[in-house]
């Protein structure tokens, strides 16, 4: 009796700290191999391990095995977790993820929103490393390059059990990375998620949440995301076509706009705007300056960010945004444009209109296009809640960063 009490106490100490994953097939402790770890099997495995570790008994299960079994029992109800990613490929996980590499900042950001232990992310892509303010946890960790120039040797040295790649960006390139990884190390699980498309992001949130054992957190985050996007869709749904706001959306470069196929055009449309240049064959066409004046946009939105590197999370730089806007107002012939006459020219940073934060920027667009319809929508509050409540970073929008102007 005393011996069993000692074993039970030691068991509590072991499972108190959840552990991470291994790529090995089969849940430890699933003796009959039926892919269900019952409470009886788990108890037997734990007692066998403790007997071997502390009482001189026999057994080949390790402490990591027992911790993983406890995790699977608690998070996945004792069953393997089947994950179907955005490429349509299904992968089975038998243990929690322990060593993760991300080639996608959007996936990394989503993992953080889901409360994933960022210590288990052993490497990130070069672009996430460059965002020192937003991804401080990347500093000091391995840099595996980008999908266009991956450091495959570094990835393999790190021995990850999971690698995150894009599903629809540079598909052939990501396919090649996946094939090389799986050929070099069959135990690596490769997941393909975009985490930036409004149509697929809620499902990706929930799927990744299941993979990392954070279903409740995933549902909370998905509902937060959907509440913002649904408010925008519902608010824009009833606007007659002839009353929709004409929008000239300018990319980072002067007189370069967005057309069908570009994500920024999709966000403009979701917010209820009409893009006169949406029918262009190129995603980012250069337009004749005179054509902009002829279309007479009611709202003008200028994108700042990577190609116009000011503001965002990197710096509180209102003066730079003001200078960008002032330069547009001074363009020849623009004094006759409705957007200029009505003071509806705005600057927005790509940090909140692209990637996983696109819902924040889309909320700003909706507010600018239809201020009366979206009087109750507060994009600033949505942004701050995202950073504080889901990203868990100490970033005060009142005094840090520049994302929109005016």
Q: Are 103 and 144 in contact (CB under 8 A)?
A: yes
DSSP H or E run through 84: strand 81-84
Return the DSSP state at 348: E
Residue 280, pLDDT score: 76
Residues facing 308 on adjacent strands = 305
| 249 DSSP β-pair partners | 301
Domains and CATH numbers, the chain: 2-79 (no CATH), 82-213 (3.40.50.1980), 241-405 (3.40.50.1980)
Q: Which residues pair with 90 in a beta bridge?
A: 84
Cα–Cα distance for residue pair 245/298, rounded to 1 Å:
6
Specify the pLDDT at position 24.
54
Distance of CA 64 to the CA centre of its chain: 29
Strands 100-102 vs 121-124: parallel, antiparallel or unpaired? parallel
- Residue 309 CB contacts under 8 Å (≥ 6 apart), including other chains: none
> Rounded to whole angstroms, how far apart are CA atoms 195 and 166?
8
Name every residue whose Cβ is closer than 8 Å to that of residue 234 and which is 6 or more positions away in sequence.
Answer: none
Burial 179-207 (b: 16+ CB within 10 A, else e): eebeeeeeebbbbbbbbbbbebbbebbbb
Q: Where are the beta strands (DSSP E) in 197-327?
A: 247-250, 299-304
Is the pTM higher than 0.85? The answer reads: yes
Phi-psi region of 302 (alpha: psi -120 to 50; beta: other; left: phi over 0): beta
pLDDT in single tens digits along all 406 residues of the chain: 444 443 444 344 344 333 333 445 789 989 898 999 999 998 888 888 887 878 878 878 999 999 999 999 999 999 999 999 999 999 999 999 999 999 999 999 999 999 999 999 999 999 999 999 999 999 989 999 999 999 999 999 999 999 999 999 999 999 999 999 999 998 899 999 999 999 999 999 999 999 999 999 999 999 999 999 999 999 999 899 999 999 999 999 999 999 998 999 999 999 999 999 999 789 999 999 999 999 999 999 999 998 778 999 998 999 999 999 999 999 999 999 999 999 999 999 999 999 999 999 999 999 999 999 999 999 999 999 999 999 999 999 999 999 999 9
Which of 278, 250, 274 is CA-nearest to residue 334? 250
Distance of CA 178 to the CA centre of its chain: 20
Residue 8 is predicted with a pLDDT of 47
What CA–CA distance (Å, rounded) separates 53 from 121?
A: 30
HSE, side-chain direction, 13 A CA sphere, residue 1: 0
Residue recorded with tokens 């570790």: 53
Q: What confidence score (pLDDT) does residue 55 get?
A: 81
Torsional sign, CA 145, 107, 139, 404: positive
């Amino acid at each position: 009796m005393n011996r069993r009490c000692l074993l039970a106490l030691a068991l509590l100490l072991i499972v108190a700290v959840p552990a991470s994953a291994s790529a090995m097939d089969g849940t430890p402790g699933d003796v009959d191999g039926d892919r269900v770890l019952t409470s009886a099997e788990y108890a037997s495995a734990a007692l066998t391990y403790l007997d071997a570790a502390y009482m001189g008994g026999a057994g080949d299960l390790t402490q990591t095995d027992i911790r993983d079994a406890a995790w699977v029992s608690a998070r996945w109800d004792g069953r393997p977790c089947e994950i179907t990613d955005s490429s349509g490929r299904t992968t089975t996980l038998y243990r929690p993820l322990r060593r993760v590499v991300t080639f996608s900042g959007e996936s990394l950001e989503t993992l953080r929103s889901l409360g994933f232990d960022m210590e288990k992310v052993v490497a990130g892509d070069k672009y996430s490393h460059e965002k020192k303010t937003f991804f401080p946890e990347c500093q000091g960790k391995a840099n595996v390059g980008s999908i266009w120039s991956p450091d495959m040797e570094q990835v393999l040295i790190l021995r990850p059990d999971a690698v995150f790649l894009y599903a629809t960006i540079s598909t052939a390139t990501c396919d090649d990375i996946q094939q090389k990884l799986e050929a070099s190390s069959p135990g690596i699980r490769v997941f393909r998620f975009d985490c930036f498309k409004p149509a697929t992001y809620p499902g990706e949130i929930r799927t990744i949440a299941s993979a990392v054992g954070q279903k409740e957190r995933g549902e909370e985050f998905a509902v937060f995301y959907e509440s913002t996007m649904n408010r925008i869709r519902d608010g824009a749904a009833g606007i007659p076509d002839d009353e929709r706001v004409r929008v000239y959306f300018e990319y980072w470069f002067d007189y370069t706009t967005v057309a069908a196929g570009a994500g920024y055009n999709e966000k403009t449309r979701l917010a209820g705007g009409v893009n006169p240049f949406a029918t262009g064959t190129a995603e980012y066409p250069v337009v004749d300056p005179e054509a902009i004046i002829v279309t007479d946009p009611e709202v003008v939105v200028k994108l700042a960010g990577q190609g116009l590197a000011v503001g965002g999370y990197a710096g509180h730089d209102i003066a730079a945004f003001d200078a960008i806007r002032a330069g547009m107002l001074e363009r020849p012939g623009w004094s006759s444009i409705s957007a200029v006459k009505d003071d509806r020219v705005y600057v927005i940073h790509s940090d909140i209109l692209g990637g996983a934060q696109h819902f924040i920027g889309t909320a700003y667009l909706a507010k600018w296009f239809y201020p009366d319809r979206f009087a109750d929508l507060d994009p600033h509050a949505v942004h701050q809640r995202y950073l504080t409540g889901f990203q868990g970073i100490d970033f005060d929008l009142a005094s840090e960063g520049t994302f929109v102007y005016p």
